[in-house]
Amino acid sequence: MQQIVLVGFMGAGKTTIGHELATILQLPLIDTDQLIEERVNQTIPEIFEQYGESYFRELEAQVLASLNDQEGIISTGGGIVLQEATRQQLKNFQHVVYLTVPFKELVTRIKNDSQNLRPLFLNHTQQDFQKIYESRASLYEAVSTIEIENTGKMVETIANEIIDRVGV
């Protein structure tokens, strides 16, 4: 069974690279945020607004736990590492790839992505947002088996780098 879990901060390219990996490896792409939205029939911003972040994190942990035996490329939300329970769950997966991107590049990507409104970005100053980014870096490192820099490379190049590193 082949599993590759993608983790990293919002805007790191988890979904984009996940699509490319799924295509190349002919595996399903499983997006944890999409599964959460389907489960409660609301968007992530609506869930945050109506129920708050802690409720969202509970849903996130439930969805991740349900994927333990699922083959595929799993794209996670940027905050998947915030709870100890989900960090422990991530350690059960075959390959966990941390996509790293410098902070300034992430801000540019997020600002230019009008398709994805990101509550965490919209509700914080850039300085506070940078503190959140910095506080999560060590958590991503702790759960990952591989780190890949996602700056200035074609999506296909990064996907092939991941494939080479996981030995598929």
pLDDT in tens, 85-140: 999 999 999 899 999 999 888 878 777 665 665 555 555 567 877 888 889 999 99
19 is a domain residue: yes
* 136 among annotated binding-site residues: yes
168 is a domain residue: no
Looking at the structure of the chain, the number of domains it has is: 1
Range of the domain at 53: 3-162
- When pLDDT is averaged across residues 59-82 and rounded to a whole number, the result is 93
47 is a domain residue: yes
* 109 among annotated binding-site residues: no
* 15 among annotated binding-site residues: yes
132 is a domain residue: yes
167 is a domain residue: no
Per-residue pLDDT, 132: 84
Long-range pairs for 40-45: beta carbons < 8 A, 24 or more residues apart: 44/77, 44/119, 45/117, 45/119
- When pLDDT is averaged across residues 18-46 and rounded to a whole number, the result is 94
* 78 among annotated binding-site residues: yes
117 is a domain residue: yes
Residue 159: band (very low, low, confident or very high) from pLDDT cuts 50, 70, 90:
very high
Cβ within 8 Å of residue 5, ≥6 positions away: 74, 76, 90, 93, 95, 96, 97
Per-residue pLDDT, 151: 87
What CATH number does the domain containing 47 carry? Answer: 3.40.50.300
More confident residue, 33 or 109: 33
* 14 among annotated binding-site residues: yes
72 is a domain residue: yes
